[in-house]
Amino acid sequence: MKRHIPNLITMLNLLSGSISIVFALHGDLVMASWMIGLAALFDFLDGMAARLLNAKSEIGNILDSLGDMISFGLAPAMILYMLLASAPDMPDVTAGHYHIPAFIAFLVPVFSAIRLAKFSVDDQQQDHFLGLPTPANALFIASIPLILIQYPDGSVIHDFFQGFYTLVALIVLTSILMVSNVPLFSLKFKNFEWKSNQYRYIFLILAIALLIFFHFLAIPVIVLFYIGFSLLMPLK
């Protein structure tokens, strides 16, 4: 029975990502973002459950990649498409009801698929990653609607994250980072000892502090900090 528990949690990840897409299609980007956050929580828990229960399996790895493709590839792309389509400075290029420039949002699932495929065939990415993980990228994207409600319309931060060209630049940059060979540490805990997880604990403590002080704006800062911290620390 215990070997099915991680797969059940993975399915909750997939379910959360699917519901996120429905919210995005109906224009509720805030709830779409929260569902991606919930999917990320389940993604973290399924790996932890597999390690604690010693229930790793090939089918579990495949299900995890399929779930991640929906929750951290397609779901954030839907949020981006809706944001781009409503951006005040979006180029006026349409075909019927469709905003053609907004389709650039779907670079995210394309590069997410490449990232997940690379990870699934690389046995070396156990204690660290090569390239930005898809959950981190999805959380970065999911934070944008939350930042837009945190800061009022007309503020510098609101206008920055609402801008079409800002969003396009973020899409291109994060897509490149996902398929890059930049080494980034993993947040996977094999145990809870301080000595073998000190960098993870330090990162999590700082991330929580940033969230307390800056709320949703802290999320993109944490992703940038994650990249910088990984480049400075010795990967083991």
Reported as a single tens digit per residue, the pLDDT across 192-207 is: 676 767 777 888 899 9
d(CA 190, CA 128): 13
Q: Which two tokens stand for residue 106?
A: 């779907």
Mean model confidence pLDDT for the chain: 88
Q: Name the pTM for this structure.
A: 0.89
Q: What is the pLDDT of residue 17?
A: 96
CB 145 within 8 Å of CB 33? yes
CB 68 within 8 Å of CB 43? yes
CB 104 within 8 Å of CB 167? no
Band (93; pLDDT cuts 50, 70, 90)? confident
CATH numeric code, 2-232: 1.20.120.1760
Rounded mean pLDDT of 17-30? 97
On the question of pLDDT at 104 being above 80, the answer is yes
Any idea where the domains of the chain sit in the sequence? 2-232
Pick from 24-38, 119-133, 154-168: least confident: 119-133
> How many percent of the chain have pLDDT more than 70?
90
Q: Where are the alpha helices (DSSP H) in the chain?
A: 5-25, 29-52, 58-69, 75-85, 107-120, 134-150, 156-162, 164-178, 194-214, 218-232
d(CA 181, CA 26): 37
Q: What is the pLDDT of residue 138?
A: 96
Give, in degrees to the nearest 5, the angle at Cα 132 between 6 and 60.
20
Give, in degrees to the nearest 5, the angle at Cα 173 between 113 and 131.
50
pLDDT in tens, 29-72: 999 999 999 999 999 888 777 777 776 777 878 888 899 999 99
Rounded mean pLDDT of 217-236? 81
φ/ψ (deg, to 5) at 180: -80, 175
Pick from 25-39, 112-126, 203-217: least confident: 112-126
On the question of pLDDT at 125 being above 70, the answer is no
